[in-house]
Each structure stands twice: as structure tokens, then as C-alpha cells.
């Protein structure tokens, strides 16, 4: 079995943050009254007494809520994978496979229509240029 590292778990947690639309940085890049500003909703790994857990920041004072129980690194890695899969499944359920496909088809059709318009414009321009050149001679 492959050894699970903190870096591997951190990559999963970063994916969770991206999917949830939250910054992957725990703190904002500025301070107010010389105090760090927390990114509310940010997920991070907490290590305590040899156990690991997934937590989420829930207020401006750095308060957090436990997302997972205390686990080993391997168990937390599997927990994060399951959490990611749950987020993806829920987003597909709420948005729907059909809606995603329909939006892609509409985008594709719009791209084709735009390309056809450009071709038509270039043909018209070239035919206008030919008409002008014929009138000059």
C-alpha cells in the first residue's frame, strides 16, 4: 500500500475549496486593525495528538466546525475523496446532466453560427473589393 502524505490530503482539500468556490488560502491577504482576516467557508486539515480532521472556518474570529471526526491520514484521505464525490454528485443532481449537455450544445451552436457569420462577412468584403476594382478599370 502506498503511504498517504499530508500533501496528498492537502491537494484533496484544495479541490474541495475550489469546488465550493472558496479561497484555498486560510487567511485573506490583508489585515484589519493588525488582525488576520479569515476566509469564511475555507476547509483545512487540523492535526491534534496524532489524529487528523477536516474542519471549516465559520466566522471572522477563526471559529471552526468539524466536518470529519478524528481520523488517521489514510482514513482522512478516503473521507476527502468521498466528500468530493458527494459534492460532485450533488452539483450534477441540482444542475442536471441534461442541462450541462444542453448548455454545451448551445455554446457549440453559437460558436458555429458566429464562425459562419464571419465567413459570410469576409466573402461579402472580398466581393465588394472585387466590384470596386472592376469599376476602377
Nearest to 80 by CA among 3, 31, 1, 8: 8
d(CA 119, CA 130): 16
- 36-52: per-residue pLDDT in tens? 888 899 999 999 999 99
Would you list the domain boundaries of the chain? 6-94, 96-137
- 66-119: per-residue pLDDT in tens? 999 999 999 999 999 999 888 888 777 666 654 554 455 455 555 656 666 777
| Whether the Cβ atoms of residue 128 and residue 136 lie closer than 8 Å to each other | no
Total-model pTM: 0.65
At residue 74, the 3 state secondary structure works out as helix
Q: How far, in whole angstroms, is CA 65 from its chain's centroid? A: 22
Amino acid at each position: 500500500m502506498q503511504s498517504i502524505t499530508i500533501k496528498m490530503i492537502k491537494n484533496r482539500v484544495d479541490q474541495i475549496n475550489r469546488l465550493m468556490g472558496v479561497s484555498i488560502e486560510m487567511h485573506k491577504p490583508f489585515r484589519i486593525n493588525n488582525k488576520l482576516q479569515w476566509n469564511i467557508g475555507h476547509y483545512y486539515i487540523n492535526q491534534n495528538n496524532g489524529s487528523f480532521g477536516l474542519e471549516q472556518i465559520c466566522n471572522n474570529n477563526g471559529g471552526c466546525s468539524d466536518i470529519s471526526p478524528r481520523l488517521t491520514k489514510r482514513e482522512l484521505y478516503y473521507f476527502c475523496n468521498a466528500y468530493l464525490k458527494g459534492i460532485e454528485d450533488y452539483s450534477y443532481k441540482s444542475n442536471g446532466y441534461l442541462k450541462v449537455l444542453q448548455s454545451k450544445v448551445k455554446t457549440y451552436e453559437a460558436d458555429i453560427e458566429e464562425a459562419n457569420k464571419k465567413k459570410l462577412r469576409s466573402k461579402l468584403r472580398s466581393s465588394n473589393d472585387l466590384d470596386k476594382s472592376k469599376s476602377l478599370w
